[in-house]
Amino acid sequence: MERTGVPLLASRPMKSPTLVATAAFLLCAACGPPNPHSAKIVPEAVAAPTDDVVPERSGVIRRGDRGLTLIGTPLEVGKAAPSMALRASGWKEAPVDFADGTVRIVLTVPSLDTPTCSLETRTFNEKASSLGDGIEILVVSRDLPPAQERFCAAHGIERVRALSDYYDASSARAWGLFVKELGIFARAVVIVDGKGIVRYEQIVENQPDEPDYDAALAAVGALVPKTE
């Protein structure tokens, strides 16, 4: 008998796989909580928040009227200086462990190929002869090792050891002296005693300026008294 107004297919319900699966899911949900020992679908894990947020500091340094940002955990006088993973002449790895009994003056500079950095390095090279034994002066920048080597040869730098953080800026970040806007080291002078403890730090506020040489040398003299 023909039915008017009703599609012929409506009299034959479709058993769609999707509908069957949906019905099964609803039936299980109505039966109460699942057996804790049965298999279950776990939502994708969400990574827990971590404390590894790299600090940023503004208002510490500038270049003329332009404020700059320092990235990394700042050094603290009286606490241990992080080790440095640097490169030396010939691209050789040159890690620095500060707890080896040597007092160090660490000059971090933007680039040796600039007037102030060149003058600063040459000045410390000249003053090194008055510091006595047991003291090492390092100048650290992100210049490539061959450029550092050429600079030292051209200016007769023999009492200051040039090392490079070009590879990944890990040392600049570890010391809180990575300049975000420029990708270079900030100009600073840090003195570390033979046990690896920071005893003095000057971050030069206006980066094109020279550091306070007298204050740095006085801090070294307090650690290593001059011998007659």
Domain assignment present for 33: no
Domain assignment present for 116: yes
Domain assignment present for 199: yes
Domain assignment present for 24: no
Domain assignment present for 112: yes
For residue 38, what are its two tokens? 């049965």
Q: The CATH number of the domain where 172 resides is what?
A: 3.40.30.10
Residue 198 C-alpha from the chain's centroid: 18
Rounded to two decimals, the pTM is 0.76
Q: Given the residues 28, 31, 117, 152, select the one marked as catalytic.
A: 117
Domain assignment present for 184: yes
Q: At what angle do helices 115-127 and 213-223 cross, to 10 degrees?
A: 40
Q: Is 117 a catalytic residue?
A: yes
Torsion of CA 139, 67, 180, 116, to 10 degrees: -20
Give me the tens of pLDDT residue by residue for the chain, a chain 228 residues long.
444 444 433 444 444 444 444 444 444 444 455 444 443 333 444 444 445 688 999 999 999 999 999 999 999 999 999 999 999 999 999 999 999 999 999 999 999 999 999 999 999 999 998 887 889 999 999 999 999 999 999 999 999 999 999 999 999 999 999 999 999 999 999 999 999 999 999 999 999 999 999 999 999 999 986 654
pLDDT of residue 101: 94
Scanning the structure block, which residue is given the tokens 């590894």?
52
User: Taking Cα atoms as reference points, which of 194, 188, 135 lies closest to residue 161?
Assistant: 135
Residues 128 and 159 sit within 8 Å (Cβ to Cβ): yes
Domain assignment present for 13: no
Put the strands of the sheet holding 198-203 in their side by side order.
93-96, 84-87, 160-164, 135-141, 103-108, 188-192, 198-203
Q: Which residues of 101-135 are buried (b: 16+ CB within 10 A; e: fewer)?
A: eebbbbbbbbbbebebbbebbeebbebbeebeeeb
Residues 105 and 165 sit within 8 Å (Cβ to Cβ): no
Residue 107 sits at the vertex; the CA angle it makes with 147 and 94, to the nearest 5 degrees, is 60
Domain assignment present for 34: no
Residues 159 and 41 sit within 8 Å (Cβ to Cβ): no
Task: Provide the residue range defining the domain that includes 84.
Answer: 56-223
Q: Return the beta strands (E) in the chain as ranges.
A: 56-63, 66-71, 84-87, 93-96, 103-108, 135-141, 160-164, 178-179, 184-185, 188-192, 198-203
User: Taking Cα atoms as reference points, which of 192, 205, 178 lies closest to residue 106?
Assistant: 192
Gap between the Cα atoms of 60 and 54, Å rounded: 16
Residues 220 and 134 sit within 8 Å (Cβ to Cβ): no
Number of domains present in the structure of the chain: 1
Q: At what angle do helices 115-127 and 145-155 cross, to 10 degrees?
A: 60
